[in-house]
Amino acid sequence: MLFWIVAIGLALAVAALLARGIMRGRAGATPAAAFDLQVYRDQLAEIDRDAARGVIPSEEAERLRTEVSRRILAADAKAQTAGHSREASGYSGMLAAMLAVLIVGGGAGTYIILGAPGYPDLPLAGRIAAAKEARENRPGQAVAEENLPPAAPVDAPAEYTELVQKLRAAVAERPDDLRGHMLLARSEAALGNFTEAWKALARVTELKGDQVTAKDYADLADMMVIAAGGYVSPEAQKALEEALARDPRNGVARYYGGLMMAQTGRPDVAFRMWDQLLRESEPDAPWLPAIREQIQELAFRAGETDYQIPGVTPPMLRGPSAGDVAAAQDMTPEARMEMIRGMVGQLSDRLATEGGTPEEWARLISSLMVLGDADQARAIWAEAQTRFAETPEALATIRAAAERAGIAE
């Protein structure tokens, strides 16, 4: 209530100042003209009395009457003008009143539409504290899953469903079977049973013990988020923290970590995490489409109003131009081979410095084998396995080239 009193009071004060400016200069014009007119009339009467008593000659009296009459006419004209000014002053008063209504009513209406009536002040420290409280007291995984509507069953062949049922029974009989739990997690996910899938993955991380990897925990968190309908629960957060503790550059964990911050009132932290991940990821990283779709709004919420999404597009495959082909036809075999080596070297340098698509990595491996440089091809294949470890589909493209070259393990 105090806010409205202060706001309306300030609006009225501003309106009063503007109205005063409009009305200024109007007052005082009419009394001055009327006073002058009365003075001149008194002077004319005094001249008539002096002429009757013989105090002034008749010729002088006539001259004075003419002069005073001229002044009376001028004063009367001013009085008429002042009368029009009084009428204009009335219109000015109406304009001032309308201005006051517009300032007070328009300001209040605009705040009601765009503002948040009834909300207290939200300083930065208060918002950070509220976000921390929300993060610490948010619902758990089980509650999130219970609140989801039932999902439509997956239309799977009866034979596949029967095999999964047998796998469930086998895993129940052998709870320490690591491979069984891994197969069960994939099978349950394929049937849309994401809760059972993440529970199987949780058992996988337990059975692996000291051999558990960042990818294992990232896969667990991924499945938990899917099971919760995109919500990052406290249990999923723990899995993400385990993944990042083992590999701070794990893309899946960094993506979901940013999503959790966005869901708990820290868009500033989420934006910084996603922006860095966006800039550091390979062009075909699976989380890039989701980040690009959401980061513009996230940037706005974080106060980055001028943010532009960095262009992370796969470079085009670069091959020989028509001129290169024509020139190669006239070259000696040695010169032609040297040209090919130069092109392969350029591709290798670019992939090492700028990165590239899986197709380009596969092409480089094949080209090196054509040149007879098997050791360099093996080195490229080893580097590709590290770079594309988090993107199995991309790695499969490169592996196919390595297998054709006979250098895949």
**Domain shared by 187 and 249, yes or no:** yes
Do 339 and 263 belong to one domain? no
Does 273 fall in a domain? yes
Q: Identify whether 356 is part of a domain.
A: yes
Separation of alpha carbons 17 and 384, rounded Å: 73
**List of residues 6+ apart from 247 with CB closer than 8 A:** 213, 214, 215, 253
CATH of residue 279: 1.25.40.10
Please indicate, yes or no, whether residues 206 and 305 belong to a single structural domain of this protein. Answer: yes
Q: Are residues 193 and 293 in the same domain?
A: yes
Return left, alpha or beta for 357; rule: phi > 0 is left, psi -120 to 50 is alpha, else beta. beta
Inside any domain, residue 279: yes
For residue 251, which amino acid is it?
G
CB-facing half-sphere around the CA of 153: CA atoms within 13 A: 5
Alpha-carbon gap, residue 37 to 19, rounded angstroms: 31
Looking at the structure, tell me whether residues 304 and 232 fall in a common domain: yes
Asked whether residue 211 is assigned to any structural domain, the reply reads yes
> Looking at the domain assignment, is residue 168 inside a domain?
no
Judge if 181 and 302 occupy the same domain: yes
Residues 226 and 293 in one domain: yes
Q: Are residues 303 and 182 in the same domain?
A: yes
- Domain end: 277, 310, 343, which one? 310
pTM for the full predicted model: 0.53
Q: Are residues 306 and 190 in the same domain?
A: yes
Q: Is residue 170 part of a domain?
A: no
Domain identity same for 229 and 287 = yes
What is the maximum alpha-carbon separation in the chain?
145
207 and 286 part of one domain? yes
Last residue of a domain, one of 94, 114, 134: 114
Q: Which residues of 222-246 are buried (b: 16+ CB within 10 A; e: fewer)?
A: bbbbbbbeebbbebbbebbebbbeb
> Pick from 287, 310, 333: which residue ends a domain?
310
Whether residue 172 is contained in a domain is answered as: no
Q: pLDDT 10s digit of each residue in the chain, 409 long?
A: 566 677 777 777 777 777 676 666 454 444 566 667 677 778 878 888 877 887 788 788 788 778 878 877 777 777 666 555 555 455 566 766 777 777 777 777 777 776 666 666 656 677 778 778 888 889 999 999 999 888 777 788 888 899 999 999 999 999 999 999 999 999 999 999 999 999 999 999 999 999 999 999 999 999 999 999 999 999 999 999 999 999 999 999 999 999 999 999 899 999 999 999 988 888 888 898 889 888 988 998 888 878 888 753 444 444 444 455 455 555 666 666 677 777 788 888 888 777 778 888 888 888 888 777 888 888 898 888 888 888 887 888 888 888 888 887 6
Residue 31: domain span: 2-114
In a domain, 222, yes or no: yes
Total domains present in the chain: 3
